[in-house]
Amino acid sequence: MSWNLTLRQQNALRLALVFVLFEVLTTLAVVFLLMQPLARRATSDLAGLMVLAAQTWAELPPETRPAFERELTASHGLTLAAAPPPGAVWTAWHGIYVRELEAQLTQRTGAPLDLASVAAGAEPWLWAGVPTAGRTLWLGFARSRVGPQPLAAALLTLSAALLLAGLAAWWLGHSTVAPLKRFDAAAAVLGRGATPELLPETGPRELACLARRFNQLARQVHDLLEARTTLLAGLSHDLRTPLARMRLALAMLQRRPDPTWIERLETDVEEMNRLVGDVLELARGLDGEAAVPVDLTAMLEALAGRAWEAGAEVTVQCPDLCLSAPPAALRRVLGNLLANAQRYAGAAPIELRAQLSDGACLIGIIDQGPGIPEDQLEAVFRPFHRVDASRSPVTGGTGLGLAIVRQLAQANGWQVWLENRRGGGLAAWVRVPTPIGEPMAQ
């Protein structure tokens, strides 16, 4: 049968095992390295005193023996008797001190000797029969004289250790399980598709790091859900306009066939195809594309050439550089930014610039257009967000170009931002933190 223990119970068991093992090792060390040598030395002195007392008593005249017995009891706590005490019980179980005393007495008398226990009032006594002068004399002392009690001490400390283990497990469990419960509750909220409250990034380093990662994940999931909602809402909204025009064109074709209406249908279909393609591009991205050496100058000149063919005036300022990056993703990012500049800059010249900055390549698309309001510089990266309130595809595009740029940049670890230029115009910057190779030969 398997037990499904809580973290607190597991901590209690582990701590209890650790405490018990530590207690056992400590007890063994104290008994064999401290108590046993001390007991051997103390029992050697006591055994010598008992044997000497028995020999002395046997050699004294009978009339002086009572005085010797009283002096022995007063000075050394020993009682001497010629006959065995009544009620003596011999047991095989003794502590360290008694076993050592038996061994010392056996060694000094040359005969096996066991101590007997006698219940004398509230305190038991220990008696030993010491052979001397052809007879056996009995010497006894109070049990309290044997001070150390290792078994009782071990049981007491073991009980205290188990109690401390329980308290420590409760304390550790409370400090560890409480954050985990918050993680569990937040993960359940996140699993339902809702946005949980951000976790406090405090406590031990590991838990704080875990909370920080979870908060990042929660923000990313929130952004993804928000982007999905915006994506679907914007797509459904933007598809209604060409669909309405197509219905009108079909109705007019039924009444009066005209090639103009067919051209309008083709234009609307193309617009819808472009919109759906941008949505798929945004949803799919270009994940998994490997980084390869890219001739940045050749890529910028190719983009500028296509812009020249479309009637834009584009110049390129870029040293001969080779950087490591996913080529399709980089081309799409720069192409979308250039298309955005062409749309808003009009006939004004556009500059493509690349330069080295702190071990990375900084690529800029700089135009002389009207720029963007400062409060819109970050908002334009959201899907279907347009600065142009008319939402016309002619003046404002589909509203997905910059969203695709931000997605591709985040997927590849790049930084993208916009800034208004002094004197008018907009500068779009892409920072590619990839190792820069040696300058390419012309």
355: enclosing H helix or E strand: strand 350-357
pLDDT for 435 equals: 59
* 378 vs 16, residue with greater confidence: 378
The top-scoring range by mean pLDDT among 118-122, 300-304, 339-343, 432-436 is 300-304
Compute the C-alpha angle 191/197/379, nearest 5°.
Answer: 90
Torsion of CA 342, 274, 220, 428, to 10 degrees: -10
Q: What is the separation of C-alpha 412 from the centre of its chain, rounded to a whole number of angstroms?
A: 26
Rounded Cα–Cα distance for residues 22 and 162 (Å): 11
- Segment 186-196 shows an average pLDDT of 79
Torsion of CA 38, 40, 46, 49, to 10 degrees: -130
380-419 pLDDT, tens per residue? 877 666 665 444 444 455 566 787 788 788 778 889 999 9
Phi, psi of 136 (to 5 degrees): -115, 120
Share of the chain above pLDDT 70, in %: 81
pLDDT for 125 equals: 83
Quick check: 128 and 51 in contact, CB under 8 A? Answer: no
Q: Which of 369, 362, 365 is nearest to 316 (CA)?
A: 365
- Segment 16-40 shows an average pLDDT of 76
Q: Write down the residue that tokens 């004294």 correspond to.
A: 60
pTM above the 0.75 mark?
A: no
How is residue 367 written in tokens? 């135009």
Half-sphere exposure of 37 (CA within 13 A, CB side): 5
How is residue 353 written in tokens? 């610039």
What's the mean per-residue pLDDT of the chain?
A: 78
51-87 pLDDT, tens per residue? 898 889 888 898 998 898 898 888 888 888 888 888 7
What amino acid is encoded at 157 in this protein? Answer: T
pLDDT for 152 equals: 67
* Confidence tier at 278 by pLDDT (50, 70, 90): low
Instruction: With both helix axes pointing from N to C terminus, report the angle between 401-412 and 327-345 in degrees, rounded to the nearest 10.
Output: 150
Rounded Cα–Cα distance for residues 35 and 40 (Å): 8
Instruction: With both helix axes pointing from N to C terminus, report the angle between 150-191 and 205-255 in degrees, rounded to the nearest 10.
Output: 10
How is residue 402 written in tokens? 């910059």
What amino acid is encoded at 34 in this protein? Answer: L
- Segment 103-116 shows an average pLDDT of 83
* Confidence tier at 374 by pLDDT (50, 70, 90): confident
212-221 pLDDT, tens per residue? 888 888 887 7
Handedness of CA 356, 358, 361, 366 (dihedral sign): negative
* Confidence tier at 180 by pLDDT (50, 70, 90): confident
Phi, psi of 30 (to 5 degrees): -65, -40
* Confidence tier at 431 by pLDDT (50, 70, 90): very high
* Confidence tier at 235 by pLDDT (50, 70, 90): low
pLDDT for 375 equals: 81
Domain coordinates in residue numbering, the chain: 7-153, 176-240, 287-432
Its CATH architecture, for the domain 287-432, is 2-Layer Sandwich (3.30)
pLDDT for 227 equals: 62
146-162 pLDDT, tens per residue? 655 666 666 777 777 77
Residue 46: pLDDT over 80: yes
Residue 27: pLDDT over 80: no
* Confidence tier at 208 by pLDDT (50, 70, 90): confident
Q: Tell me the sheet residues that pair with 361.
A: 356, 432
**CB neighbour burial string for 260-273, b if at least 16 within 10 angstroms, e if fewer:** ebeebbeebeebbe
Share of the chain above pLDDT 90, in %: 5
Q: What is the 3-state secondary structure (H, E, C) of 207-220?
A: HHHHHHHHHHHHHH
Q: Which of 164, 255, 233, 257 is nearest to 382 (CA)?
A: 233
* Confidence tier at 430 by pLDDT (50, 70, 90): very high
7-153 against 287-432: fold identical: no
Q: What is the separation of C-alpha 78 from the centre of its chain, rounded to a whole number of angstroms?
A: 67
pLDDT for 399 equals: 66
Quick check: 414 and 430 in contact, CB under 8 A? Answer: yes
Rounded Cα–Cα distance for residues 411 and 330 (Å): 11
320: enclosing H helix or E strand: none
* Confidence tier at 329 by pLDDT (50, 70, 90): confident
In sequence order, which ranges of 60-95 are alpha helices (DSSP H)? 65-76
pLDDT for 1 equals: 40
What amino acid is encoded at 11 in this protein? Answer: N
The top-scoring range by mean pLDDT among 17-31, 59-73, 121-135 is 59-73
Contacts of 409 (CB under 8 A, 6+ apart): 333, 415, 416, 430
Contacts of 260 (CB under 8 A, 6+ apart): none
Where is average pLDDT lowest: 60-69, 230-239, 248-257?
Answer: 230-239
Residue 5: pLDDT over 80: no
CA distances from 263 to 98, 238, 266, 267 (A): 116, 20, 5, 6
Quick check: 77 and 85 in contact, CB under 8 A? Answer: no
Quick check: 286 and 411 in contact, CB under 8 A? Answer: yes
pLDDT for 279 equals: 65
Q: Write down the residue that tokens 């296509």 correspond to.
A: 306
89-99 pLDDT, tens per residue? 766 566 677 88
- Choices 3.90.105.10, 3.40.228.10, 3.30.450.300, 3.40.50.2300: CATH for 7-153: 3.30.450.300
pLDDT for 234 equals: 60
Rg of the chain on CA atoms, in Å: 48
141: enclosing H helix or E strand: strand 135-142
- Segment 329-353 shows an average pLDDT of 86
The top-scoring range by mean pLDDT among 12-26, 135-149, 241-255, 303-317 is 303-317
Quick check: 104 and 47 in contact, CB under 8 A? Answer: yes
